[in-house]
Amino acid sequence: MALAGGLTAVLYLQPWTTGATPVPVELVAMAPVTRVLATNGRIAARHSVDIRSLVGGRIEALGVAEGDEVQAGVELARIDAAAPQAALRQAIAGLDGALVAEAQAQDTLARARALGANVSLTTLETAERAVQSAAQEVARGTALVDQAQVQLADYTLHAPMTGTVLALTVEPGQSIDPSTALMTIADLGELIVETDVDEAYATQLRKGQAAVLQLAGETLLRDGRIDFVSQQVDAATGGLAIELSFEDPVTAPVGLTVTANIVVEALEAALTAPRAAIQSGEAGAAVFMLADGVARRRPVSVIDWPAARLIVTDGLAPGEVLILDAAGISDGQAVRGTAP
């Protein structure tokens, strides 16, 4: 077996050929192939929310600091509420007046009814209408108080979820409006990787595909998989958003760069060729084979992919001698093989 292997190497390297251009070559052989898409992304929290106020005004107090862990419902900030508080007091005063007027109308109706036949029908009907009108005013006053309380509640902000304050962008005394993001709260218990890939690979990606993830500054490789693939390509950038999750929980700062190698396809055996060996033109892809001391151009079909070696689906056969660098080679040129 050792003699046969050595003879094969001598035959395809052809060291006796003189006057021919030396070219690096290799024997075409079937081998396991994994097609991987490499991309860079950043750590993000799966669940996060930007806190904004429904009303404008001056921040009176902040109840948290950047980095604080908060529970859902805890007070985050208060906005100066002098105006809505005055409106609430006014609504309460109006309701109190309506309640007094309703009580007086009911007393008047009760006295009229107590007179029995001695009161005119007109007087009785007027008293009844006064009670109905007073009741409507009470209802209106109650609604105004409820509305004022709702508006006042908007001036106190509470945490909508349990998490960590990632960013605090305001200070006490600062004036804000509903477009101002006061802070960001995120659940750091479940971190993901957010990235986007070129639209050319959009049809190759699907939920559940395995990935190998490496955090910036680490040598450890972590297992992950695609959790989300957007169904819309960004028309401005040509990018397709995807999200990847870690198989095991990870602790890392949000925004940290992550290198992701997504396993698009794993084949037990396939033929490949170095990208440098492949010529591309209007007629399609082609390679140069070494046969009888001459370079022979041969059309091939490949799966174009951002990798150093491409899968060849047609045009090559195991045992043939492939020229590894097609630059400067022409069909029929005398060449001799050298070890790469």
For residue range 118-167, list pLDDT tens digits in order.
878 888 889 889 999 999 999 999 999 999 999 999 999 999 999 999 99
Token pair recorded at residue 182: 């006061």
Domain boundaries 8-32+268-338, corresponding CATH code: 2.40.420.20
Percent share of the chain, pLDDT over 70: 95
Residue 15 buriedness (CB in 10 A; 0-12 / 13-18 / 19+): exposed
pLDDT of residue 15: 53
Q: How far apart are the first and last CA of the chain?
A: 23
Instruction: Supply φ then ψ for residue 129, to 5 degrees.
Output: -65, -35
Average pLDDT, rounded, for the chain: 91
Convert the pLDDT of each residue in 294-321 to its tens digit. 999 999 999 988 889 999 999 999 999 9
Residue 248 buriedness (CB in 10 A; 0-12 / 13-18 / 19+): exposed
Whose tokens are 């084949």? That residue is 267
Measured distance CA(4)–CA(80) in Å, rounded: 90
Measured distance CA(187)–CA(176) in Å, rounded: 25
| CATH class, 38-47+189-266 region | mainly beta
The pTM of this model reads 0.72
| Domain spans of the chain, in order of start | 8-32+268-338, 38-47+189-266, 81-153
Section 39-60 average pLDDT: 96
b/e burial code for range 64-82 (CB count within 10 A of at least 16 → b) = beeeeebeeeeebbbbebe
